[in-house]
Structure 1
Amino acid sequence: MYQRILVPVDDSETSAAAVREATRFACEQKAVIRLVHVIDLAQFAWSANEFLDVPQLQEALRKSGRQLLERHAEALREAGLNPEQDLLEAWGGNMAQTIVDEANKWKAELIAMGTHGFGGLTHLLLGSVAEGVMRATTVPILLVRTPNNAK
């Protein structure tokens, strides 16, 4: 059914839950999983850059992103899969749109991602990458929440 599954990951339990669900789908359907992690390189560029080594901080973001992708990829390899992985860079842009663009470029048939399920003021202040992806894509989406985040 779904042969190309894009899984945006971060360092949250909901993201790990989405990887587990994508693994289940991929094993059942002999699908390919592509893990992506988006970093925003502009997050340090606009504030206090006279006190910070911005290129060093940006490289640290890249390094931690690659390590995160590798951790998730290792779990997929243990399940017998051979995942693709890519570190995506945004520059003050919309992370959700970066994910949607990658899904279109890669021709994903499903996007599996975690969502924290925040509501109210927390949602207003933090927004939701998952909601942004859902609004901007025509690719089917599997949103996964962990039990302790379910309401």
Structure 2
Amino acid sequence: MYSRILVPVDHSDTSAAALAEASKLATEQHAVVRLIHVIDLAQFAWSANEFLDVPQLQASLKEGGEKLLQERVALLESQGIKVESALVEIWGGQIARTIVDESSKWEAHLLVMGTHGYGGLTHMLLGSVAEGVMRHTHIPVLLVKADDRPAV
């Protein structure tokens, strides 16, 4: 049913919980998993650039993203899951739209991602990448909260 599962990953507990669910599904469905990590290289470029070494910060974001992907790929491969990965760089774009675009390009059948489940003022201030994905995608999305779930 779901032979191509896209999973956006970051360093959060919710991302780890989503990856655990995706690995269960991938094993059951004999699916290929594509992991993506989105980095916004513009996040430091617009402010405080006279105080910060922006190129160094951007290089650090890339390095950290690549390391995260390598660790997650190794984890899934150790479980016998076929896995691909991509570091996706954006410049001030919407992360949610980028995830949806990547899922379309890769022709994903399912998107599995973590959500913090914030509500009220926190949601209003921080927004929700998961909500943005839900608003723009045409494929099924499995949202996973980290509550009492084992980390991957």
Please report the TM-score for the alignment, with normalisation by the length of structure 2: 0.95
CA contact (8 A) 2:115 2:144 kept: yes
Would the alpha carbon gap of residues 118 and 148 (structure 1) be closer, same or farther in structure 2, given more than 3 Å must change?
Answer: farther
**Which structure 1 segments of 5+ residues have no match?**
none
Give the number of equivalent residue pairs: 149
Aligned identity (percent) is 63
Match of 1:49 in 2: 49
Answering whether residue 112 of structure 2 is matched by residue 112 of structure 1, we say: yes
CA offset digits 1:2-41 (Å, max 9, x no partner)? 0000000111111011111110111111100000010000
Match of 2:121 in 1: 121
Match of 2:64 in 1: 64
CA offset digits 1:15-71 (Å, max 9, x no partner)? 011111110111111100000010000000011111211111101000001111112
Q: Following TM superposition, where does structure 1 have runs of at least 4 consecutive aligned residues deviating by more than 6 angstroms? A: none
Match of 1:78 in 2: 78
| CA distance in 2 between partners of 1:2 and 1:72 (Å) | 20
Please report the TM-score for the alignment, with normalisation by the length of structure 1: 0.95
CA deviation after TM superposition for structure 1 residue 82, in Å: 2.6
| CA distance in 2 between partners of 1:6 and 1:16 (Å) | 14
**Which structure 2 segments of 5+ residues have no match?**
none
The letter of the residue matching 1:50 is: E
